[in-house]
Amino acid sequence: MGLSSIDPEHCFDLAETLHSGQAFQWLPHRHEGIDGFAACIGELGPIWLAQPSARQVLLRETDEALARTYLGLDHDMPAIQRTFPADDFMTSALDFSPGLRILRQPLWECLATFITSSLKQVAHISAISLELRRRFGERRDFDGQPFFTYPSPAALADAGEEALRDCALGYRAKSLHRAAVAAVDGTFPLVDLETRQSREDHERLRQALLELHGVGEKIANCVLLFSGGYWETFPIDVWIERILRTVYRKRLKGARLQEWANQYFGVNAGYAQQYLFHFARKTL
């Protein structure tokens, strides 16, 4: 199978993007003698991605369309970054990883992994995600190595809460199982919610997410940002809250802090948030 090369056009960093706490499945993988990363995306793949130089992303020809969407290679980064505030910390965060992109992940995979993320470190979210894939996902071999799709709602619903608990999920097992059941019985209409046509879709998806047990403001916002592509959405986790308190001197809480952040960081506040989060986590 032939390889394709994509020129990202704007500044793009594959490794930073795949390991910035948005997606949790990417593993180092050498393909045809080239070091890169491989994983399944939702029910697709595995796909392999490499970036031997700044203006060159390598992948298999058949994966090109999927990769462009997933990696956000069509994002107009200069235009997006011009909407960020120009304060010192924001500037430092941009300088630290100028090639960071917001991914566009499948809804179920993104929702399910973030349900398992509450009060967990990124490394452990990855471990949990991998275990769920290995136990309940579909095996797909690539270069003689096994990869696994993210388990479908049906697979997790059938597995049962106790089996999920065995994957070190703790109290999150109930939330994940109930979400899987909701997706299967249509209470949470995955396919409808994943299509994005009108302006109302944002609020529709947000409301549906918040009705799920175990999904609050933070997780709903992560899904809106990392799957829905709603870049104005600004998730506030412990890292971001710490930054807003210590760097930006904000003593506000909850909805008031959220309101301030959305106002201050602008129309692409969520995109800005990812630079802040990554910078803080890697340097503080």
Partner DNA sequence: CTCCAGGTGCCGA
Partner DNA sequence: TCGGCACATGGA
- Residues binding DNA (CB under 7 A): 20-22, 117-125, 165, 168-171, 174, 212-220, 222, 235-240, 242, 253-256, 273-274, 277, 281
Nearer to DNA, 121 or 195 (CB): 121
Relative to beta strand 34-41, strand 44-53 is antiparallel
Nearer to DNA, 59 or 222 (CB): 222
Quote the least distance from Cβ 181 to DNA, whole Å.
15
Smaller CB separation from DNA, 60 or 98: 98
CB of 134 to DNA, least distance (A): 15
Q: Which is nearer to DNA, 31 or 133 (CB)?
A: 133
Closest CA to 271 of 36, 83, 52, 132: 83
Q: Output 64 or 237, the one with its CB closest to DNA.
A: 237
CB of 239 to DNA, least distance (A): 6
- The count of other CB atoms within 10 Å of the CB of residue 227 is 23
Residue 136 Cβ vs DNA, minimum distance, rounded to whole Å: 17
SS (H, E, C) the chain: CCEEEECCCCCCCHHHHHCCCCCCCCEEEEECCEEEEEEEECCEEEEEEEEEECCEEEEEHHHHHHHHHHHCCCCCHHHHHHCCCCCHHHHHHHHHCCCCCCCCCCHHHHHHHHHCCCCCCHHHHHHHHHHHHHHHCCEEEECCEEEECCCCHHHHHHHCHHHHHHHHHCCHHHHHHHHHHHHHHCCCCHHHHHCCCCCHHHHHHHHHHHCCCCCCHHHHHHHHHHCCCCCCCCCCCHHHHHHHHHCCCCCCCHHHHHHHHHHHHCCCHHHHHHHHHHHHHHHC
Of the two residues 144 and 254, which places its CB atom closer to DNA in the complex? 254
For the bound state, the minimum distance from the C-beta of residue 122 to DNA, rounded and expressed in Å, comes to 4
For residues 31 and 104, which CB has a smaller minimum distance to DNA in the complex? Answer: 104
**Please, what is the minimum distance in Å from the beta carbon of residue 273 to DNA?**
5
Paired residues of 140 in beta bridges:
147
CB of 167 to DNA, least distance (A): 9
